[in-house]
Amino acid sequence: MEPVIPIIILALPLTMFLVLGLLGHKMAHRTAGILGTLSMGVTMVLAYITTLTYFFSGSSEFINEEGVRLQSVIFNWDWLAFTDSLVIRLGFLLDPISALLLVVITTISFMVHLYSNGYMRDHHGVWETGFQRFYAFLSLFSFSMLGLVVATNIFQMYIFWELVGASSYLLIGFYYTKPSAVSASKKAFIVTRFADLGFLIGILVLSFYTGTFDFTNFTSTGVEGMANVYQVDLTTAEGIRNWIASSPAPVFMGGSVLTWALVLIFMGGMGKSAMMPLHIWLPDAMEGPTPVSALIHAATMVVAGVFLVARLFPLYLMEEVALNIITVVGALTAFYAAMVACVQVDIKRVLAFSTISQIAFMMVSLGVARPEFHHGLGYMAAMFHLFTHAMFKALLFLCAGALIHAIGSNDYTDMHGLRKHMPVTHVTFLIGCLAIAGIIPFAGFFSKDEILTAVFGQSIFWYIWMSAVAGLTAFYMFRLYYLIFWWKEHKTPEGHHAPHDQLWTMTLPLVILAVVSCVAGFVPFGNLVTWNGHPMFESVNFFTNLGALDWSVAAISLAVAILAIILATVMYKKENPLPAKMRSALPRLWDWCYHRFYWDELYMFITHKIIFGCISRPIAWFDRHVIDGSMDGMAWVTQRISFAIRGLQSGNIQLYVWIYLVGVILLGAITAVCLL
């Protein structure tokens, strides 16, 4: 494939960031919005062309005779050449998951660009302050995220990884006059940076022992007779493990170098994907504008951790320990986040915890994936869920944005009974809820079912656990749905217009994403995205996914979801005292869930009481009293001495001569005495 289109895909958002960032304040708001949206639209079309070419052109650089999908390095520039072996490259790697992510990122990003034209202005058409800056940051984010997924080597990935972190920071803190937004952006930045420290150490350990940064060297072998084309291959990862083991690599606390490197790299993924215990930044990140939450904190950036694990998956397969850690972390996070989501009042917080829970689903799915079981079904399921989740969660967030825009508040207590006032939002939100709850035939049903099947194949315990989480998911989403759209009649406060559906720029993305959420489940992912590129099905048609279902698993998860929805309907459809009774029956549990199991308080305790109190304060005391004290003491002594002797330098030349004379006489006398 010619590198022209891939280069434009990366260059266009970057150019738009520079144009809007540097010249935006000279443009009209409308121009900036249209410019940003159009350029993202062009990027989206180009990304579609690239992806379709990759999957369906049948070119020998993308697929071999047996139908195995290959990794193709479109271009790879030497960026920083330190030595012959230490070269940092920037390139474009096209393989199933990067092609998939290209589609996801550009689609959601385009929807959000379009949507923000309506969202970032109030009901009187007055534009938000910093509107152009907002679009510039959106472009920066899109550029960074695209660069991340097409990275050819782990260092390029790290660079763009930090760039998405930075643009996330900028966008969370978009309303920088609000103290809560500022502290939320700082929190997100610091927590993810702490996680990225682990990531960096992991990269350095891995690269030190393997002598390479390139993903293709970690996981794939070159295809004979083709330049820059690789095939994913377990023997490569096996070779790397043997190579590390044969060189005298130290064993640290019972773990081999590879285990530690992979666990540390996963730590970076935990931070970005908000896995426990590094999840605390994501709920607070909801302080950003809602389109940002949809783009960054639901659909794209937060799945970077999943993508990272998927990218290095053959290496992870070499270390069962690392995969088991991923499974356990994911499962615990999924359950925790689902519990918390059941009692939150702020609708964006509910969606944020739901996002954490769903990403944890993907992590679990990767953690249980083994090549022996259905060609690594878990890997495919994770990528499938990443795709469908991006669509329906972006839809839910954009619906929430429409609601917030109409009502002017984030809490469902101010909403209630909106179904007649906002019919489009109502229907699209319902579709999103059905999709995430896993009701056939919406997108979430298929992907979640694949995940549960994969978990079932590995461990019954985690299967029951994750099914329970899936039930909780359906429950809290429908609780939210009923509390927003039903419960009781909407009461418009005095002096406000009745809420209504928003401008077409805001409703159109909702409708498009709702349609995608309806049909995305039928995409035959098994033939597009698998861990080693081998197709799962002989031939595919529209109903392949339906035919491939494991109905015993599907029926159970469907039953669980429907039960949970019925429960939510009973409790929340009409105003009734049942929820309040539940709450008073389990006050302790309710409190713990409402306060997110006191994780933030725990962090505050650790940082303020232990780190600041026991470590920082003694160090500060030492610095202020011992180090500063010794320096100050030297200055003090010098000053006192100079005060004492400064009278000697009077500028009185006659005194100088007098002293000189006395000195000469004394010197002469001493010399004379000595000589005699």
Partner 1 sequence: MELTILWYLIPSLLMFCCGVYGFITRKNMIAMLISLELMLNAVDINFVVFNRFLFPGELEGMFFTLFAIALAAAETALAIAIIINVFRVSEKIDVDDVTKMKF
Residue closer to partner 1 by CB (options 252, 656) is 656
Q: Which stretch binds partner 1 (CB under 8 A): 332-340, 430-438, 474-482, 646-654?
A: 646-654
The only residue of 85, 177, 246, 654 in contact with partner 1, by rule CB under 8 A: 654
Q: Are strands 87-94 and 229-232 parallel, antiparallel or unpaired?
A: unpaired
Task: Sheet with 229-232: list strands edge to edge.
Answer: 87-94, 71-81, 229-232, 220-222
Number of residues that bind partner 1 (CB under 8 A): 7
The three-class DSSP label of residue 558 is helix
Question: Which amino acid, one-letter code, is at 270?
Answer: M
Residue closer to partner 1 by CB (options 125, 651) is 651
Query: Nearest approach, Cβ of 173 to partner 1 (angstroms)?
Result: 53
Residue closer to partner 1 by CB (options 641, 665) is 665
Q: Which stretch binds partner 1 (CB under 8 A): 282-290, 392-400, 597-605, 649-657?
A: 649-657
Q: Which two tokens stand for residue 581?
A: 């009774």
Residue closer to partner 1 by CB (options 125, 647) is 647
The only residue of 81, 631, 657, 670 in contact with partner 1, by rule CB under 8 A: 657
- 647 part of the interface to partner 1, by CB under 8 A: no
Q: Which stretch binds partner 1 (CB under 8 A): 269-277, 590-598, 631-639, 647-655?
A: 647-655
Contacts of 638 (CB under 8 A, 6+ apart): none
Q: Which stretch binds partner 1 (CB under 8 A): 56-64, 101-109, 416-424, 653-661?
A: 653-661
Measured N-to-C along each axis, helices 234-246 and 257-272 cross at an angle, to the nearest 10 degrees, of 120
d(Cα 603, Cα 608) in Å, to the nearest integer?
8
Residue closer to partner 1 by CB (options 584, 650) is 650
Q: Are strands 229-232 and 71-81 parallel, antiparallel or unpaired?
A: antiparallel
Nearest to 336 by CA among 314, 320, 358, 319: 358
CB 445 within 8 A of CB 524: no
Query: Nearest approach, Cβ of 88 to partner 1 (angstroms)?
Result: 60
Query: Nearest approach, Cβ of 657 to partner 1 (angstroms)?
Result: 6
Query: Nearest approach, Cβ of 611 to partner 1 (angstroms)?
Result: 52
Q: Tell me, rounded to whole angstroms, the distance of Cα 649 from its chain centroid.
A: 69
What is the contact mask toward partner 1 in residues 604 to 643, using x (rule: CB under 8 A)? ----------------------------------------
Query: Nearest approach, Cβ of 636 to partner 1 (angstroms)?
Result: 24
First-to-last C-alpha distance (Å) of the chain: 102
Q: Residue-wise over 72-100: b if at least 16 C-beta within 10 A, else e?
A: bbbbbeeeeeeeeeebbbbbbbbbbbbbb
d(Cα 73, Cα 10) in Å, to the nearest integer?
15
Query: Nearest approach, Cβ of 651 to partner 1 (angstroms)?
Result: 5
Query: Nearest approach, Cβ of 654 to partner 1 (angstroms)?
Result: 5
Q: Does a cis peptide bond (omega within 30 degrees of 0) precede residue 277?
A: yes
Nearest to 147 by CA among 372, 300, 298: 300
Residue closer to partner 1 by CB (options 493, 647) is 647
d(Cα 393, Cα 350) in Å, to the nearest integer?
12
Query: Nearest approach, Cβ of 637 to partner 1 (angstroms)?
Result: 25
The only residue of 85, 652, 672, 675 in contact with partner 1, by rule CB under 8 A: 652
- 658 part of the interface to partner 1, by CB under 8 A: yes
Q: What is the helix (H) or strand (E) element at residue 381, kind and residue range? A: helix 377-407
Which DSSP state fits 609? I
Q: Are strands 220-222 and 229-232 parallel, antiparallel or unpaired?
A: antiparallel
Q: Which stretch binds partner 1 (CB under 8 A): 142-150, 156-164, 473-481, 655-663?
A: 655-663
Q: Which stretch binds partner 1 (CB under 8 A): 179-187, 210-218, 301-309, 654-662?
A: 654-662
Query: Nearest approach, Cβ of 661 to partner 1 (angstroms)?
Result: 6
Q: Provide the β-strand partners of residue 87.
A: 81
The only residue of 250, 254, 651, 674 in contact with partner 1, by rule CB under 8 A: 651
Query: Nearest approach, Cβ of 659 to partner 1 (angstroms)?
Result: 10
Residue closer to partner 1 by CB (options 547, 651) is 651
Residue closer to partner 1 by CB (options 611, 661) is 661
d(Cα 348, Cα 415) in Å, to the nearest integer?
13
d(Cα 599, Cα 46) in Å, to the nearest integer?
43
Site for partner 1 in 177-216 (CB under 8 A): none
- 661 part of the interface to partner 1, by CB under 8 A: yes
Site for partner 1 in 290-349 (CB under 8 A): none
The only residue of 653, 673, 674, 675 in contact with partner 1, by rule CB under 8 A: 653
Q: Does a cis peptide bond (omega within 30 degrees of 0) precede residue 441?
A: yes
- 667 part of the interface to partner 1, by CB under 8 A: no
Q: What is the helix (H) or strand (E) element at residue 61, kind and residue range? A: none
Q: Which stretch binds partner 1 (CB under 8 A): 341-349, 367-375, 490-498, 652-660?
A: 652-660
Query: Nearest approach, Cβ of 628 to partner 1 (angstroms)?
Result: 32
Contacts of 18 (CB under 8 A, 6+ apart): none
Taking every pair of Cα atoms in the chain, the longest distance, rounded to a whole number of angstroms, is: 122
Q: Tell me, rounded to whole angstroms, the distance of Cα 650 from its chain centroid.
A: 71
State the residues that interact with partner 1 by CB under 8 A. Answer: 651-654, 657-658, 661
